[in-house]
């Protein structure tokens, strides 16, 4: 039997995603008692090449509450690809531990690790994808809108890893999705094409536009993320200029339906991609989504070990 991983939600069926969300809801309701022993006395390694607050803490807490042990393995000490090859790192780790939770720059590093080892691997963010964030967003939508799918999602900003993850989720679960991105910063064409194939099946809209106001016009949720992702710091000044018209602020939210919610994967840069009044406002669900990272990630671990 093929081992299970979470590399991208592109690999998951809509039914599996729905089951994960139901499981996450149950785990949330019963916290901290997971009523499952699938990860009891098992060990998960967190190997992160980039900084993190939410992902690191929620994975450690999830593993602990499932009765397992979490080890933080500093990526700078491992030096994957320098001190030893990515596949040699994987082939050693699989001899000692049961799960890898990995945050890398290149998505190819995650894929190499996953291909080289026999234990499950979870994508905790790569330059291309952030599936755990999308699952937390989906659980938050489910809590707000139930099983209804008539809640269009608008993403405003960079066609980055978080945009990809939300677009994949929307295409799989059947939400309308519109991304407003400046020229040259659209989602990856290959990921977009895969998502369009799913959206054609569900009959839902999947569009990339230039005008943020057009994107938010019928949105139930307006989502944004930083203009400069981790690893792109040398482009910060140029990006600030290019993305300035894509700020989520009161003027943009005035173009959206009055009930439209706002979210952000966090960390946020107040005054750049989102203004403080909107981030702190009552329509913002970013912290509910951050909280839900814990519950969906528990559900993912249970799924991988069941």
Identify the residue among 26, 43, 52, 255 touching ligand CP (CB under 6 A): 52
Binding mask 230-269 for ligand CP (x = CB under 6 A): -----------------------------------xxx--
User: Smallest gap, in angstroms, from Cβ of residue 178 to ligand CP?
Assistant: 22
Residue from the set 229, 247, 263, 275 that interacts with ligand NVA by CB under 6 A? 229
Residue 34 contacts ligand CP per CB under 6 A: no
Binding to ligand CP by residue 274, rule CB under 6 A? Answer: no
Selected range binding ligand NVA among 31-39, 40-48, 226-234, 240-248, rule: CB under 6 A? 226-234
Pull the structure tokens for residue 90: 């994987």
CA–CA gap between residue 190 and residue 102 (Å, rounded): 23
Count the helix, strand and coil residues of the chain and give each as a percent rounded to the nearest 5: 45, 15, 40
Question: In sequence order, which residues have a C-beta less than 8 Å from that of residue 125 and are 6 or more positions away?
Answer: 50, 52, 55, 103, 104, 132, 133, 161
- Minimal distance in Å, beta carbon 301 to ligand CP? 17
Q: Report, in Å, the least distance between residue 133 CB and ligand CP.
A: 5
Which of 161, 188, 275, 297 contacts ligand NVA by CB under 6 A?
161
Q: Which entry of ligand CP, ligand NVA, none binds 272, CB below 5 to 8 A by partner kind?
A: none
**DSSP state, 2?**
P
Q: Is there binding between residue 196 and ligand CP (CB under 6 A)?
A: no
Q: Helix, strand or coil for residue 198? A: helix
State which residue, 133 or 199, has the beta carbon closest to ligand NVA.
Answer: 133
- Site mask, ligand NVA, residues 113-132, x = CB under 6 A? ------------x-------
From 163, 145, 146, select the one nearest 154 (Cα to Cα): 163
Say whether residue 265 binds ligand NVA (CB under 6 A): yes
Q: Does 54 bind ligand CP (CB under 6 A)?
A: yes
* CB-CB contact of 52 with 266 (8 Å): no
Region for 233 from its dihedrals, namely left if φ exceeds 0, alpha if ψ lies in -120 to 50, beta otherwise:
alpha
Where would I find the H helices in 260-285? Answer: 276-279
Of ligand CP, ligand NVA, none, which one sits near residue 229, judging by CB under 5 to 8 A according to partner kind? ligand NVA
- The length of the chain in residues reads 306
Distance CA 285, CA 78 (A): 36
Q: What is the torsional sign of CA 144, 146, 152, 154?
A: positive
Footprint of ligand NVA (CB under 6 A): 125, 160-162, 225-226, 229-230, 265
Q: Give residues in contact with ligand CP (CB under 6 A).
A: 52-55, 125, 133, 265-267
């Amino acid at each position: 039997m093929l081992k299970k991983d979470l590399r991208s939600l592109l690999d998951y069926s809509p039914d599996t995603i729905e089951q994960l969300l139901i499981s996450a809801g149950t785990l949330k309701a019963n916290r901290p008692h997971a009523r499952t022993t699938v990860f009891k006395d098992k060990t998960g390694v967190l190997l992160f090449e980039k900084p993190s607050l939410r992902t690191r803490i929620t994975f450690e807490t999830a593993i602990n509450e499932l009765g397992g042990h979490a080890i933080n393995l500093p990526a700078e000490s491992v030096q994957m690809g320098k001190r030893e090859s990515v596949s040699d790192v994987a082939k050693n780790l699989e001899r000692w531990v049961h799960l890898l939770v990995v945050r890398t720059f290149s998505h190819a590093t995650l894929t190499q690790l996953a291909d080289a080892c026999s234990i499950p691997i979870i994508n905790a963010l790569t330059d291309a994808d952030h599936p755990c964030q999308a699952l937390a967003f989906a659980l938050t939508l489910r809590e707000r809108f139930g099983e209804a799918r008539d809640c269009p999602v608008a993403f405003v900003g960079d066609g980055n890893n978080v945009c990809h993850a939300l677009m994949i989720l929307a295409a799989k679960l059947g939400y309308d999705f519109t991304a407003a991105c400046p020229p040259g910063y659209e989602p990856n064409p290959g990921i977009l094409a895969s998502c369009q194939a799913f959206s054609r099946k569900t009959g839902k809209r999947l569009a990339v536009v230039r005008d943020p106001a057009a994107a938010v016009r019928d949105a139930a949720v307006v989502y944004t993320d930083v203009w400069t992702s981790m690893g792109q710091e040398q482009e910060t000044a140029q990006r600030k200029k290019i993305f300035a018209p894509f700020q989520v602020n009161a003027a943009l939210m005035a173009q959206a339906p009055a009930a439209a919610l706002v979210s952000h994967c966090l960390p946020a840069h107040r005054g750049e991609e989102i203004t403080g009044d909107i981030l702190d406002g009552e329509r913002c669900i970013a912290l509910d989504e951050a909280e839900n990272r814990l519950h969906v990630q528990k559900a993912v671990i249970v799924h991988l070990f069941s």
